[in-house]
Amino acid sequence: MSDIIDVKAIDSEKAESLKTVGWISYLLHLVVAVAAVIPGAQIGAGLLIVALVIDLVKKGDAGGTWQASHFSWRIRTVIWAGVLYVITFPLFLLLYLPGAIAWAVVSIWFLYRIVKGMVRMNASQAMPD
């Protein structure tokens, strides 16, 4: 009897493990997102890179679960934010005020996506495509 594997218990442990990893990643993203919105409080890309690596490494483990959408959501958010920051960087250098406004908009969008993901993760809901 002890050789019988409790698949439900394993799935439950996997789900909880993925949720823990998801929370760690969301919290790292949140620290960076809040710092991006507060002038002069830039944390840097280091935490964001750590969170991105976690998401890229663990995304495969989440395949077929509602949490997979959260890994994709965070990865897409970081990639799009990075692209938008790179695109608006010359504007920031050439015309400070419009550049600062563009960066603020990107930062607020980034923060919104992270908070939205955290709310849905807390409710154990998948992210929309």
pLDDT above 90 as % of the chain: 54
Residue 110 φ/ψ, nearest 5 degrees? -60, -45
Looking at residue 3, its pLDDT comes to: 55
User: Where do the structural domains in the chain lie, given as residue ranges?
Assistant: 7-122
- Can you give the pLDDT at residue 40? 65
Position 75 scores a pLDDT of 96
Q: For the purposes of burial, counting CB atoms within 10 Å of the CB of 36, is it exposed (0-12), middle (13-18) or buried (19 or more)?
A: buried
What's the pLDDT score for residue 48? Answer: 87
Distance CA 6, CA 10 (A): 6
Residue type, 111: L
pTM for this entry: 0.83
The pLDDT of residue 6 is above 80 = no
